Amino acid sequence: MYIDTHLHLDEPWLSDENHRQKAIHDITKHQIITFAQSCDIKSYKKILEYSEQSEFIFPSFGILPWYAHEYVDRFEEVRELCEEALMLGEIGLDEKNARDKACIPHQRPLFEIFLETAEKHDMILNLHFRGTEDEGFEILNSYNVKKPIFHFYSGSLDLMEKINDKGYYYSMGQMNLERVLGEPKDPIIDKIRKIPDDLLLLEIDVLPRGQNFEVPSIVFVNIVNNIAKIRNTTSEEIEALNQKNVVKLVGNDPKLKKIIRLMESVPKT
């Protein structure tokens, strides 16, 4: 079965309602367990609604670091939503892609609210670091967080040694792998190969937009096939690793028992 540990069903990456409904329908039809990410409080509320439409959609509460300055006066509200959430993300540090640089000084305090909650309740934490991987890794290590996921890891190969030693997860997927496969020197190839079997997770992240739109089941198969090629293994093996690692990631979290139940009830693909 397919498990997508990082998908956007809302703004700023999915705004076409027709596409959204097709995606949700496809998730249900193909029984794709989906960790639906949010980028701010508004998108989290929408994700909560979408999760009512499919038992396979699990909402995740996060605020992209780009919007950190908009939440300076709302930390208590953020903290409460963290407490109620099933899982957290996406959240992190990103100076590189921040359109409004006003967010930068506020990213870390916001990030730390999520880290405190993840530590307290042993929650899954979907992390967004761009150009801030080393700093993010240091901050992460100052908390006892056991289930962080480096979403679309874009740091150095050197840092990966340390991340691997800590046993933190990586989710890889949407990154135009077809193009990357045509360029064997692309740095992402080495990164995908350097992830230990027991720390690899799969993600779609963003569905193709406009004319190129495809439903999650189609996109996911491509990701599995491409990652298998890069790691010189079979698609079945990659999918099996993803499932096994999700079981380990979810662990005994009482809020996420349903994920394990769904995995047990869906016939193996």
Q: Which residues bind Zn ion (CB under 5 A)?
A: 90, 205
In the chain, the amino acid numbered 149 is I
Nearer to Zn ion, 9 or 227 (CB): 9
Minimal distance, residue 77 CB to Zn ion, in Å: 22
CA-CA-CA-CA dihedral for 245, 114, 64, 8, to nearest 10: 40
* Whole-number Å distance between alpha carbons of 213 and 115: 34
Minimal distance, residue 34 CB to Zn ion, in Å: 13
Minimal distance, residue 6 CB to Zn ion, in Å: 6
* Whole-number Å distance between alpha carbons of 249 and 213: 30
Nearer to Zn ion, 64 or 185 (CB): 64
Three-class secondary structure of residue 151 per DSSP = strand
Nearer to Zn ion, 90 or 239 (CB): 90
Minimal distance, residue 21 CB to Zn ion, in Å: 20
CA 78 to chain centre: 19
* Whole-number Å distance between alpha carbons of 82 and 87: 8
- What DSSP assignment string belongs to 53-82? H-TTEEEEE---GGGGGGGGGGHHHHHHHH
Minimal distance, residue 207 CB to Zn ion, in Å: 11
> What strands, in cross-sheet order, belong to the sheet with 87-94?
3-8, 33-37, 57-61, 87-94, 125-130, 148-151, 169-173, 200-203
Minimal distance, residue 206 CB to Zn ion, in Å: 7
Q: Which of 76, 121, 128, 118 is nearest to 97 (CA)?
A: 128
Neighbours of 224 (CB within 10 A): 20
Beta carbons within 8 Å of 197's beta carbon, 6+ residues apart: 241
Nearer to Zn ion, 4 or 214 (CB): 4
Nearer to Zn ion, 205 or 239 (CB): 205
Peptide bond into 12 cis (omega under 30): yes
Minimal distance, residue 236 CB to Zn ion, in Å: 27
Nearer to Zn ion, 124 or 240 (CB): 124
Nearer to Zn ion, 8 or 191 (CB): 8
